[in-house]
Structure 1
């Protein structure tokens, strides 16, 4: 059985109401770096064979302290990328509030794509596929995956047997750790939304 440590990146430098999506160059704040250190300390005693991250800086920076502690490199996998919000990237939530497709997207994410982007179901499929690939490579070891809020919610929903449209029922805080064990015919969600250092 593979134990997955699913980690949401630490606090970023941009304000939360801004939908940064896959915008490059978004880094951790000072508090976010402290969260990354706290995550490494929390997971320090765990047996972890591989540290994998979304390609985005804020996820990789969150992964680096744990990778250093374990003597590993942070490896990126596109499967764990942030949601592709397409044309909505860079807009604030207030700017999108009056957009009818944005409202549909939040009510029925499984089938409503962001313009020029992806549906949540597509994102869930790629994320879960990445996890299953890693399970095949590390069948009895631990793997840490550093990613983003919505992809992690989608993955948790999948393994909980919940429709992806129930994504919002799973709290995945900034700088949080969730733990999922995957075997050939067994899934156990061992921990959800453990935040070693909450946001101020």
Structure 2
């Protein structure tokens, strides 16, 4: 089985105001770079076989220090880009509720199926990103792989991997800490039915280096 360490990128400039970044390329803050450094220190002791990241700079720059510390080549996979929030990009929940009340209400009720105006349905994000994780499990059947991506896509994928309704992602995973680890075993040992499921090993695990 493969152990995938799913990780959200470091803090961005829109983090404090809880603005939807989506496919927008928002820069890391100084704190975000510090979080990437902590991820680097963990990665140096984690015996990783691969490191993969979304092409958006907040994910790529969060993963690059880990790649440098391990000597592994950082792979960029466009399928791991964040859900596109369309007209909601750069807006806060309060602004969305005021500007697009009906669409925001639909999104809150069924967020995986009702995108924000001009945005990508969450289920479409699952469909494009799941093959990337499956390919990693096939390439590294007994390895540990760091995958740096984004909060909404990660939560949707976790629901898919452990067999939960994707519309529940905001309730089941209300908080995803920046550069914290969400380790999963994939596929779950002994799992034979399709689709393959994963075992979630931890939530928001701090990236602490292993003891020598």
TM-score relative to the length of structure 2: 0.85
Name the CA distance, whole Å, in 2 between partners of 1:20 and 1:68: 27
| Superposition map of 1:41-120 within 5 A | 41-98=41-98, 99=100, 100-120=102-122
Name the CA distance, whole Å, in 1 between partners of 2:41 and 2:132: 26
| Superposition map of 1:1-200 within 5 A | 1-14=1-14, 15-24=16-25, 26-98=26-98, 99=100, 100-168=102-170, 169-170=172-173, 171-183=175-187, 185-186=190-191, 187-196=198-207
Offset, 1:42: 2.2
Name the CA distance, whole Å, in 1 between partners of 2:190 and 2:116: 34
Q: What is residue 195 of structure 2 aligned with on the other side?
A: none
How many residue pairs align between the two structures?
Answer: 196
Offset, 1:96: 0.4
Name the CA distance, whole Å, in 2 between partners of 1:143 and 1:37: 18
Q: Provide the aligned C-alpha RMSD in A.
A: 1.7
* Stretches (4+) displaced over 4 A: none
Offset, 1:196: 4.0
What 5-or-longer segments of structure 2 have no aligned partner?
192-197
TM-score relative to the length of structure 1: 0.90
